[in-house]
Structure 1
């Protein structure tokens, strides 16, 4: 018997679908240095997976003398410029999985803490209409690790979040996805992710297929109505 499909797949963007983190780091470094400060890789790691408003506060503490919304605007505009100039560096296996899920008719959402304008830019660069809805950081009140973005995406798709798979690469993102009740796949990129019974870790999306998603969904949810994803052990 075929494994059941998840009701939807909810995708993080930066670091999960597209390797835009180096662009963000470049934008942050340029901004801090323009105010006479210094910005290291370890500083940049503090911002991975966080909302832009929180990132702005950290940048202000490093000497960026701008209002928070101005910082967000400057960073987003610079990253969008880099994407236009250098293209979208896709994470291994991401586009292939998006295409396979689309062909299978699985609804998908893009759930990111980047702004709407950048989320739509990335969605357009995919080359086909992969996402049925987009939830961005400037569309929610609470940033990840709060589950609002995932819950909102599932609501717009008309599905139960507990019947979805969420794909994430950061600790705040995984916390948000787990809190929403979704089955969660962590794909580490810029930061390592700890082992946990609350989610599965895949080293990469390369070589992963729809069958892998359905097998994971079945293992986590089971065929007899099990739903406690936060208590099942591997």
Structure 2
């Protein structure tokens, strides 16, 4: 009997390898504003511990206060730089330069064939999510997903569970029949705090993240002819993530991801 009722995807780094494009966009914005900053891959990987590009930039500017004239309003400047960064990123996104990661489209198609609901829980903007989906799934892409939770809907960033809690409420489902697919430690913590078991797909910016309590950590979802590499967790004899594997995870007696280290209040679920 099929246990799985819904798959909830993160976006940046999970559906697509967007983080490198984000990094390049930040560096281009720094150059346009004549700021003597350049985020290397290793530095950006550390900065991803701060969820949300706007928040990430503001914290970085505050930590480098000495690089600015005393009269500089860092919050205002970070908003301006982030706005330009977002424009640069969106130009690349609209140009179709960002495709889905290995196995994403196959799993989406398989879920639809099996009547499994699909949802998104992300800190990305509604506009960027919609463009990415349409570029990779066609003009009717938005109809494929039952629920799309973005930063336009939920204020609290991961590791807050707010986005996942909102998605579960909209789906009308309990966490035990859903799976979260993530790529970061903050995403794993958010899903865990919402009571969800989690599959992690790592990439260059998150290979050193803490993924304790994730049910399965792999380098990609994989394909029948392109198997994933298991980093931690039980793959139940499968070579790629499919509905059978997810069902096995949900039905397993492995340690449940119901206890969370998230003990801060959810400040605001919806704007």
| TM-score (norm. length: structure 1) | 0.85
Counterparts in 2 of 1:23 and 1:218: CA distance versus 1, 3 Å: same
1:37 paired with 2:47, answer: no
Counterparts in 2 of 1:44 and 1:175: CA distance versus 1, 3 Å: same
- Runs of 5+ consecutive residues of structure 1 not aligned to the other structure: 222-226
Give me the whole-angstrom Cα distance separating, in 2, the residues matched to 1:67 and 1:109.
34
Question: Which of 122, 125, 141 pairs up with 1:115?
Answer: 125
Mapping for residues 193-212 of structure 1, pairs under 5 Å: 193-207=209-223, 208-212=241-245
Give the superposed CA RMSD.
2.3
Give me the whole-angstrom Cα distance separating, in 2, the residues matched to 1:180 and 1:97.
23
Counterparts in 2 of 1:133 and 1:72: CA distance versus 1, 3 Å: farther
1:79 paired with 2:89, answer: yes
Q: How many residues align structurally?
A: 224
Counterparts in 2 of 1:157 and 1:230: CA distance versus 1, 3 Å: closer
1:112-144 residue CA offsets vs partner (Å, 9 max, x unmatched):
111111111122222244311111123212100
Partner of 1:54: 55
| TM-score (norm. length: structure 2) | 0.74
Give the deviation of 1:111 after TM superposition: 1.1
Give me the whole-angstrom Cα distance separating, in 1, the residues matched to 2:10 and 2:156.
16
Question: Which of 163, 177, 183 pairs up with 2:177?
Answer: 163
Give the ranges of 4+ consecutive aligned residues of structure 1 lying more than 6 Å apart after TM superposition. none
Question: Which of 160, 168, 173 pairs up with 2:187?
Answer: 173
- The 3-state SS of whatever aligns with 2:156 is coil
Give me the whole-angstrom Cα distance separating, in 1, the residues matched to 2:164 and 2:155.
12
Bigger CA radius of gyration:
2
- Runs of 5+ consecutive residues of structure 2 not aligned to the other structure: 69-73, 224-240, 260-271
Partner of 1:224: none
